Amino acid sequence: MLLQELWIGMEQENTIIFKLEDLIEKDQEPTCIIIQQIHVVLMKLWTTCWHKVSDCPQCITDPIEAALALMTLNQDGFFKEPKDMIKIISKLEYCMCLIILKEIRAQATDTEAWTSLKYKGSSIAFANLCDMFQNMENNLITIWKDKILHGLPLRVDYQDLVDDPSNTDISYSFLFDPKNICFQDHIHLVCTVIEGQGEFSRFLLQQKHDGKPIWNHAALSDWLQDYAALQKLLLLCAEMLSGAPARGTELTATIYCNTQTQPIHNLMVFGQHMTLHCQYSKTSAMMGHNKLIPHSLDAITSDILIQDLALARPFAQLAALNQKDIICTKHMRIKGASTISSYPIHTPLIYAQNQRTIK
């Protein structure tokens, strides 16, 4: 429709149209050549300043305006409703953007693949970022083995985990799904500490006459600090190594099991992937529900996060209950703390200065 009427008084522009028509009619040239000629025609069409013709002021000289005017007409001669033209105009605008971007890319002379840049006066190289992430993962593994487990070979072996996203029962998660029998022993690390294995022998001083243990609060406090450092690194790995970064407030509010106020847990298992689901709430009024945005975690972060929730988190809840300067809220009664992390990245989970809270 754009080419039905040749451009009046523009011989050069008409020449490129004739060339395109010849290529289409002959049907012998490769498709890439025809596409390139279409690009040339559209670039000429959308970069030309269309002036009114003095001899015919009522004529529409701009082919786009003429095409849109004809598209708005129904067969009965009446114009279409504005809502019926939105899709056509949107497609036309999108096509304009693609043509201009293709032209910019074709004229770009910088073909070197850069691996470094200047950011606020500092030089940042991609190789340095890779080294930083590798060191971060090494620190995560070191803290987990040496500080959290104190060198003991404790591990939960899992395979083909089951998770039901449609289950909205309070406290449900893949950790408490009866089909995942590997997570049935929730107090493995707690029993190890009580038995005094390895360096955990200093955590329990003695037992009272009624059988209740007397804890070494200094040892518990040191362990909780190390556990907070582990949580900080887990948050950082989830932020930097799981695709497009989420907001820090979204990550710190994620939960691994359902609660009364949030019936959809954020940490889910899909096939072989551990994913964090952030919720986009700005379109809730239009869609009637929050939009879930999944972030697939890398292998190291996924494994240590599962080991943390299955082994270390139950003992962290027990250790926090025996610390007077930690405030435990009602969520502690729902199979323990439900949040993956209760603090922003700069304030680690559980152990913060002054008032400290587990949610």
Tokens coding 223: 């362990």
pLDDT, greater one: 283 or 108: 108
**Tokens 């069409």 identify what position?**
45
- Mean pLDDT for 47-60 is 77
Q: Which residues of 138-170 are buried (b: 16+ CB within 10 A; e: fewer)?
A: eebeebbeebbbbeeebebebeebebeeeeeee
Q: Can you tell me the distance from the alpha carbon of 341 to that of 359, in angstroms, rounded to the nearest whole number?
A: 8
pLDDT single digits (tens) 231-250: 999 988 988 888 776 666 66
Q: Can you tell me the distance from the alpha carbon of 305 to that of 311, in angstroms, rounded to the nearest whole number?
A: 10
- Is the per-residue pLDDT at 144 higher than 80? yes
Would you kindly state where each structural domain of the chain is located, as residue ranges?
11-107, 127-358
* Reported pTM: 0.63
pLDDT single digits (tens) 165-192: 889 899 899 999 999 999 988 889 999 9
Q: Can you tell me the distance from the alpha carbon of 9 to that of 84, in angstroms, rounded to the nearest whole number?
A: 34
Is the separation of the CB atoms in 278 and 254 below 8 Å? yes
Q: What is the pLDDT of residue 250?
A: 64
- Is the per-residue pLDDT at 94 higher than 80? yes
Q: Are strands 356-358 and 326-328 parallel, antiparallel or unpaired?
A: parallel
**Could you tell me how many residues make up the chain?**
359
- Is the per-residue pLDDT at 17 higher than 50? yes
Q: Which residues pair with 79 in a beta bridge?
A: 73
- Mean pLDDT for 109-118 is 84
Is the separation of the CB atoms in 125 and 115 below 8 Å? yes
pLDDT single digits (tens) 247-296: 666 666 778 888 888 888 888 998 888 998 877 666 655 666 667 788 88
Q: Can you tell me the distance from the alpha carbon of 48 to that of 222, in angstroms, rounded to the nearest whole number?
A: 72
Q: Which residues pair with 278 in a beta bridge?
A: 293
**Tokens 């439900």 identify what position?**
338
